[in-house]
Amino acid sequence: MEILSEPWVIWVAIGIICVIIEIFTPGFLFFSFGIGAILTGLAALIIPSITFQILTFAILTLIVFVLSRKFSKKLISTNYEDTNVKALIGKTGRVTQKIPANEKGYVKIGGEEWVAVSKDSKEIKKDARITINDIEGNKVIVTVIEE
């Protein structure tokens, strides 16, 4: 049991716990602490000074944090594509049933037919090409593509 009181064992144990916590939390924060603690534990084998260990932990954690942030920004990108009905915005289709001014008609987008209204409240004739501007409830808001 004497080995459990060795500083390097404590550092490595803290590091392993932090890496395990990181598995359940996003952001690479606990990962930085974990790697910093594990590396400090290895350094504690060589230099047993507690001041050295704390300083080493702080510096290594900061370095790992800065390097992992660059990696995490690439991994956790904010560039994503809309899904479900929001993915229809910007798509084109054809009018299958005339859209009267201020009323509903039908358009076909891909293989699906949708209830549609004109964005500018103008009539849109059957077979006109349209683009989806927005979605409101179960209907799409469309504008005519001028040909």
Q: pLDDT tens, 41-81?
A: 999 999 989 999 999 999 999 999 988 887 777 666 666 56
Q: Report the number of distinct structural domains present in the chain.
A: 2
Residues 35 and 93 in one domain: no
Partner residues linked to 118 by β-bridges: 142
Last residue of a domain, one of 27, 52, 75: 75
| Distance, CA of 80 to CA of 73 (rounded, Å) | 13
Last residue of a domain, one of 52, 75, 98: 75
Residues 7 and 61 in one domain: yes
Which structural domain range is residue 63 located in?
2-75
Provide the CB-side half-sphere exposure for 74 (13 A, CA): 4
Q: What is the pLDDT of residues 107-142, one digit of tens each?
A: 999 888 999 999 988 899 999 999 999 988 889 999
| Distance, CA of 37 to CA of 85 (rounded, Å) | 47
Residues 57 and 116 in one domain: no
